[in-house]
Structure 1
């Protein structure tokens, strides 16, 4: 995985302008990567795109008898709150949700057991992604000591066995890093993208989207919210591989989540991004114009439209 950030617990993406390829008008974001791997960045992201299509979580609520979308959202809200309060890396958060959804795709879980799965997923992701010791985090306290240490360890082993110890996966985060560079974003846009992406993590309906599409949709919805023009550029289409039409459905879902965030009983993401630390981007009016239009006017014509 390309390490494009500092270990600070906050988003630290570069926002410097990228070089431009004069032959095709597409900005070259590879120039921003670490020189030692710059020649391989395109190949790395090609691999990510292939890998994301392997082993995606299934629509597991179809066979989960004792949990539902609401219970998942409640656990998600608590995990995002804990993640933020301990200043953990964003990579950890996205891997946590990958672990949860993969596990629930393979194993039936009771409603009482779901919080145990969630906090163990966070623990596993922390061990994998964080550079500092996590011994200062009392996970038992987070769960109000509802489970014993032995239960925690047993569930951790069970999760890892079910996932066959496969944690090196392209989560949505690796695509967000790449696509934000392609967008040549400022801090406000960066915060807005992560706000919408984290709202998406809260909702079970988003698991059907590939991580790259969810990430590109977050960028598109964020640019729409902040009235960026054009909404979608040649560079973004080239780097993400998605046209506006392909992003419309997912972006509309993110806008709906934004529209209801202030009134929701689950407030972790909204409160986090209403703070000045994250530019209070949650307080921006949602891009409801994306919901009113049946079609999105594309800045770039597709090959089919060109005929």
Structure 2
């Protein structure tokens, strides 16, 4: 699991830039009708890469775009995988085609070609198909909306995908007035995630990603964004239900051990750099032609999705953001 400390050690990028990158990937993912798992796998690849390499601002969006490309080739059918020309257009011609191929090699070698990852979407499919009932589409759509919210913010990074999906489904059942699934809220960590989501909507509901809200306001997602936001704007909050006691003794939670401090290095360098050494001043030997950015229970993606023009390509420059 990626360490929170890895972003804190980066010299140029920070947590305030993460929401903008995730929003960009959500746009592209939705536009190409890619499978739900792909978005989560792409973010996971970005996080693992950032935890092992020094990443400079001008390459952050390139890394995210290539991570989505790798995830699409791993998870989806060939016909829906974006082409190199699509990738260039995604970044508004900020990078040449060779930059994407080059970065693909750096990312794959850095994560040691380890692509398989049990995403929150995968766990949601398992949870919704087991137990006393199969959840109705609206409940699943609300849970997906909540899970994608967790991709944007630092406080959710430390939790495993299995707990993210369980907490999202438990809160979804509450919002949709469905019987509570006790297995989804039986651990302290799961309740922590649920409380974080509940607080995020109650206190910051007006500051959610407009792209994500627009996506889940579409009819193909049962317009659940409107449903959830209205609940919280009207003062609604999650209310815990008393769970009957059981005879078995719960297993005590084991605190997460602090991840070892990572030595970061530049994307183009095959050997690790020590940030404290003089070699740190030699950043990256990128070609001069590369310029910064300027401008499983899953149904197939329905054709009623918003059109390709949903992608605006008019977002602020990633490297000039101070607040996101």
Please report the TM-score for the alignment, with normalisation by the length of structure 1: 0.72
Quote the residue 1:57 is aligned against: 2
Q: Does 1:189 align with 2:134?
A: no
Q: What 5-or-longer segments of structure 1 have no aligned partner?
A: 1-55
Q: Does 1:257 align with 2:200?
A: yes
Q: Does 1:299 align with 2:249?
A: no
Call closer, same or farther: CA 1:89–1:57 in 2, change over 3 Å: same
For the 8 Å contact 2:88–2:94, the answer to whether it is kept is yes
For the 8 Å contact 1:64–1:108, the answer to whether it is kept is yes
CA displacement, residues 120-142 of structure 1 (integer Å, 9 cap, x when unaligned)? 00000011111133255611011
Aligned alpha-carbon RMSD (Å): 2.1
For the 8 Å contact 2:139–2:172, the answer to whether it is kept is yes
Whole-angstrom distance in 2 between the partners of 1:301 and 1:64 = 46
CA displacement, residues 167-209 of structure 1 (integer Å, 9 cap, x when unaligned)? 0121222211101123520011010010101111122321100
Quote the residue 2:104 is aligned against: 156
Whole-angstrom distance in 2 between the partners of 1:66 and 1:288 = 39
Q: Secondary structure at the residue paired with 1:154?
A: helix
Quote the residue 1:95 is aligned against: 41
For the 8 Å contact 1:93–1:122, the answer to whether it is kept is yes
For the 8 Å contact 1:199–1:257, the answer to whether it is kept is no
CA displacement, residues 202-242 of structure 1 (integer Å, 9 cap, x when unaligned)? 2232110011111101111111222222x223xxx2xx6x6
Instruction: State which of 51, 58, 66 in structure 2 corresponds to 1:112.
Output: 58
More helix as a share of residues:
1
Call closer, same or farther: CA 1:135–1:247 in 2, change over 3 Å: closer
**Residues matched between the structures, number:** 239
Call closer, same or farther: CA 1:281–1:132 in 2, change over 3 Å: same
Whole-angstrom distance in 2 between the partners of 1:194 and 1:265 = 15
For the 8 Å contact 1:199–1:258, the answer to whether it is kept is no
Instruction: State which of 200, 203, 221 in structure 1 corresponds to 2:171.
Output: 221
Q: What 5-or-longer segments of structure 2 have no aligned partner?
A: 251-324
For the 8 Å contact 1:244–1:298, the answer to whether it is kept is no
Write out aligned runs for 1:1-307 (5 A).
56-59=1-4, 60-133=6-79, 134-135=81-82, 138-182=86-130, 184-229=134-179, 231-233=180-182, 237=183, 243=186, 245-259=188-202, 263-264=206-207, 266-284=209-227, 285-286=231-232, 288-290=236-238, 296-301=240-245, 303-304=248-249
Whole-angstrom distance in 2 between the partners of 1:110 and 1:175 = 33
Call closer, same or farther: CA 1:185–1:226 in 2, change over 3 Å: same
Larger radius of gyration: 2
Whole-angstrom distance in 2 between the partners of 1:148 and 1:244 = 48
Whole-angstrom distance in 2 between the partners of 1:128 and 1:298 = 43
Call closer, same or farther: CA 1:289–1:244 in 2, change over 3 Å: farther
Please report the TM-score for the alignment, with normalisation by the length of structure 2: 0.68
RCO (CA 8 Å, sep 6+): is it higher in 1 or 2? 2
